[in-house]
Structure formats: structure tokens, C-alpha cells
């Protein structure tokens, strides 16, 4: 999928003074409507840079039109579906500082677009989880204390111990955490909300095709319920869905792959 990554600047309108807008979807003149499931990650990363951050949609201008705003957008073609996905940030065309932020953040996420394997663990695997041991980076998902969330799954003394980061409802994930990382381990907190897990899976899938590999506790318990995006063998059935209109428009408007 790396060869299909592109960065484009698009005309739009609807950005207020002093803000940047992280788009849920955008219209590329060549790829049609492009959904952005990774918008929560992008918005969190763009915060604290001197501009108000808003997530939403903008009025996209046609190729022949100009707008009061400029959108910096990066996208790729999902090899599973032939459909595009990407990230995009809009800024006022007369705000050089905001446009610089839009470009920097968009390029940061474009640089880490790649296929990945998400290794899910609920922390009840016994003395160490082989999936977490083999991960390139580990996310502890939820707001439970570290020792409660990790159990014995995250073992810092393991020779392949990866960097561990905590992810909560704010979705504050830095793109450098994913740079060069193929296998992402996710340890679920004791009381983690299912919506948070789904949002994280969808957001990571928006940065490149994700195969979800859930673990089963060694005590024979049920373990983590397999997400609907994979079949019984762990193969992806379809793209992790994005909500409503964006998904429908992306499917209807995107060019069909050619042989």
C-alpha cells in the first residue's frame, strides 16, 4: 500500500479564524470521497499547538473553484477493498501558522501509514502473554491502574520488551509510537469500555490495513470476543466500518480498481 500514498492540497470553506479542522472525510479529485477513521488520533495530536482543534466536515470546492480554506490531505488505497482512506486537516488560507500545523500533522501521520497486526490481550493470560512479548509497541487501553490493567501480560524484563503507552478516551497517541511498528500489542484494562477499543481499532485501521489477533486465556476462558472485521482464521472480512454517510459516500464515489 506504500506506493499508493499521496499528499494533496485541496480547496474548501467553513474554517473559522483561529482554528484548524480535522476532517471525518474529504473529497479527493481523483479518489472521490475519502473517509478518515483515524480522525480521533489526528485531532488529539494536533491539540496544544496554538490553534483550536475541531473535528467535522468542510464544504469541499471543486477543482475549478477556490475557497477560504485549504485542506492538507494524505490518503492511500486499501489493498483489501480497493477503496481509499486517509487523514486531512483544514486551515484558513490566510493563516500561515495554521497551514503549517496542518501540513506538519498530516505528514506525520502519512509517514506511519502501513499494514499492521493488532495483538489484543485482556491481561488474564497467565505468566506473560506471548502476543505482548512479540509486540513492537504496547498500548494499555483504559484508565485502570497499570498493575491492574497489565496483570502479568506486560513484562518489562522480557528481552523483547517494547515501549508501553497508555491510551484512554482522549486518544492521545503520537505518530512516532507507530513509526516502523508492525505488531501493536493492546492490553485491555479491567473495566475498559468496548467503545474505546472499537475506536482504537478503527483509528489504527484508518492508517493502514489492520488484522486483529485476539488472545484466549490459558485457563480456557472465553477471552476477548473476536471483532467483526476478521473471520475465524483471523483474516479481514472487510474494512473496519466508518459511520454512516462517510462510508456510503466513499464506496459510491471512489473509482473502481482496474485490472
Which domains does the chain carry? 2-113+242-253 (no CATH), 116-214 (3.40.1010.20)
Question: In the chain, pLDDT over 90 holds for what percent of residues?
Answer: 51
Q: Which strands make up the sheet holding 69-77, listed edge to edge? A: 52-56, 19-23, 84-92, 69-77, 6-13, 59-60
pLDDT digits (tens, 9 = 90+) for 206-215: 999 999 988 7
β-strand partners of 74: 7, 87
Q: What angle do CA 97, 24, 257 make, to 5 degrees?
A: 115
**Mean per-residue pLDDT, 248-254:** 35
Please determine, for residue 121, whether its predicted confidence score (pLDDT) is greater than 90: no
Longest dimension (CA), the chain: 63
pLDDT digits (tens, 9 = 90+) for 32-79: 999 999 999 999 999 989 999 999 999 988 764 677 999 999 999 999
Q: Which of 70, 97, 63 is nearest to 15 (CA)?
A: 70
**Mean per-residue pLDDT, 78-85:** 94
Distances from the Cα of 250 to the Cα of 1, 70, 189, 257, 258, angstroms: 18, 21, 34, 14, 17
Q: Give me Rg for the CA atoms of the chain.
A: 19
Residue 205, SS3? Answer: helix
pLDDT digits (tens, 9 = 90+) for 87-117: 999 999 999 999 999 999 999 999 999 999 9
Question: In the chain, pLDDT over 70 holds for what percent of residues?
Answer: 71
Which residues are within 8 A (CB) of 104 and not within 5 positions of it... i.e. 6 or more apart?
Answer: none
Please determine, for residue 82, whether its predicted confidence score (pLDDT) is greater than 60: yes
Amino acid at each position: 500500500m506504500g506506493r499508493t500514498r499521496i499528499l494533496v492540497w485541496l480547496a474548501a470553506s467553513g474554517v473559522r479564524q483561529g482554528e484548524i479542522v480535522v476532517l471525518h472525510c474529504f473529497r479527493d479529485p481523483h479518489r472521490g470521497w475519502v473517509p478518515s477513521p483515524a480522525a480521533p488520533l489526528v485531532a488529539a495530536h494536533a491539540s496544544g499547538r496554538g490553534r483550536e482543534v475541531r473535528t467535522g466536515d468542510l464544504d469541499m470546492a471543486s477543482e475549478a473553484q477556490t475557497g477560504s480554506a485549504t485542506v492538507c490531505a494524505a490518503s492511500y488505497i486499501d489493498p483489501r477493498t480497493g477503496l481509499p482512506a486517509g487523514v486531512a486537516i483544514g486551515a484558513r488560507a490566510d493563516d500561515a501558522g495554521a497551514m503549517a500545523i496542518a501540513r506538519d500533522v498530516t505528514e506525520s501521520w502519512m509517514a506511519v501509514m502501513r499494514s499492521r497486526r493488532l495483538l489484543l490481550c485482556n491481561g488474564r493470560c497467565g505468566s506473560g502473554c506471548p502476543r505482548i512479548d512479540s509486540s513492537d509497541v504496547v498500548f494499555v487501553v483504559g484508565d485502570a491502574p497499570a498493575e491492574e490493567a497489565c496483570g502479568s501480560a506486560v513484562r518489562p524484563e522480557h528481552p523483547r520488551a517494547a515501549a508501553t503507552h497508555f491510551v484512554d478516551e482522549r486518544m492521545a497517541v503520537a505518530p512516532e509510537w507507530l513509526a516502523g511498528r508492525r505488531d501493536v500489542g493492546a492490553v485491555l484494562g479491567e473495566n475498559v469500555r468496548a467503545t474505546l477499543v472499537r475506536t482504537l481499532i478503527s483509528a489504527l485501521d484508518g492508517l493502514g490495513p489492520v488484522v486483529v489477533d485476539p488472545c484466549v486465556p490459558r485457563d480456557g476462558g472465553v477471552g476477548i470476543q473476536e471483532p467483526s472485521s476478521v473471520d475465524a482464521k483471523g483474516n479481514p472480512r472487510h474494512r473496519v466500518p466508518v459511520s454512516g454517510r462517510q462510508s456510503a459516500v466513499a464506496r459510491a464515489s471512489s473509482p473502481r480498481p482496474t485490472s
